Amino acid sequence: MGTDMHYSPNDTGGGQGHKADVRNWRELSGFSELYDYWNSGREAGDLPRADKFDLLALTQWLPNIMLLDIVARDNVIARFAGTAMVDRIGFDFTRENVLTNQSDVSRERVINAYEAIISKPCGMVARYANHYSSGRSGIVTTIYLPLKAPASGNARIVGMVCREEDAGYAAPIERTQAGTDIQSAEWIDLGFGVPPEKP
């Protein structure tokens, strides 16, 4: 997986374009707004509480937001899936285990990343390809931020997707496969450090 490269929320990646480098994630539509709202909910430096995180404060970006419930290492349930995401994926994956639609080539890597986001805790930004059921492939960038578990419940991750570009066509498939090609991924240091290995 390589040695760690990580960035603070203010790092813009030296001006490189986001299609080649995820480090300037703050330039992507809605990512700064999500991070700033997330950061405003921190109490004494701790993570924002999941039960106080109001998605309606991010109404403009809701179509591209998801809220994940980390039930177990191999069971990550979508509590909320924005309409734009549902349209691209081709079905409403709310209340489903999102790992069932993860490509075989990236599933274990994604499981490890979700686990690290919650346990460290830290954020992550990743650029990857999805193979949609229509046969179309698309490149997206997603930011993931951890939320503190409510008193009786599971830790959660809030994510936002920025659609970037089409990446060609292949044969149609029965269900969309996410993460068929992870092109770039980096941790975001939220003040607790980051894992020693790249995501």
Q: What digits encode the pLDDT tens for the residues 5-57?
A: 344 454 433 333 334 356 678 778 799 999 999 999 998 989 999 999 999 99
Put the strands of the sheet holding 123-131 in their side by side order: 6-7, 177-188, 123-131, 136-147, 156-169, 65-72, 75-81
- pLDDT for 115-127, tens place per residue? 999 999 999 999 9
Neighbours of 158 (CB within 10 A): 24
Q: Is the dihedral of CA 111, 89, 59, 27 positive or negative?
A: positive
The pLDDT of residue 165: 75
- Mean pLDDT score, 182-198: 94
**CA dist., res. 127 & res. 20, Å (int):** 9
How large a percentage of the chain has pLDDT more than 90? 69
Q: Which residue has the tokens 């992507």?
A: 28
- pLDDT for 131-173, tens place per residue? 998 898 889 999 999 999 988 899 999 999 987 677 788 889 9
**CA dist., res. 78 & res. 80, Å (int):** 5
Q: Which residue has the tokens 């994630």?
A: 25
**CA dist., res. 72 & res. 197, Å (int):** 22
The two most distant CA atoms of the chain are separated, in Å, by 51
The pLDDT of residue 170: 84
- Domains annotated for the chain, with CATH where assigned, are 33-188 (3.30.450.20)
Query: CB-based burial of residue 47 (10 Å sphere; 0-12 exposed, 13-18 middle, 19+ buried)?
Result: buried
pLDDT at 199 over 80: yes
**CA dist., res. 102 & res. 98, Å (int):** 7
pLDDT at 82 over 60: yes
Strands 177-188, 156-169: pairing is unpaired
Q: Is the peptide bond before 146 cis (omega within 30 degrees of 0)?
A: no
pLDDT at 58 over 50: yes
The pLDDT of residue 5: 38
Here the tokens at position 121 are: 């805790």
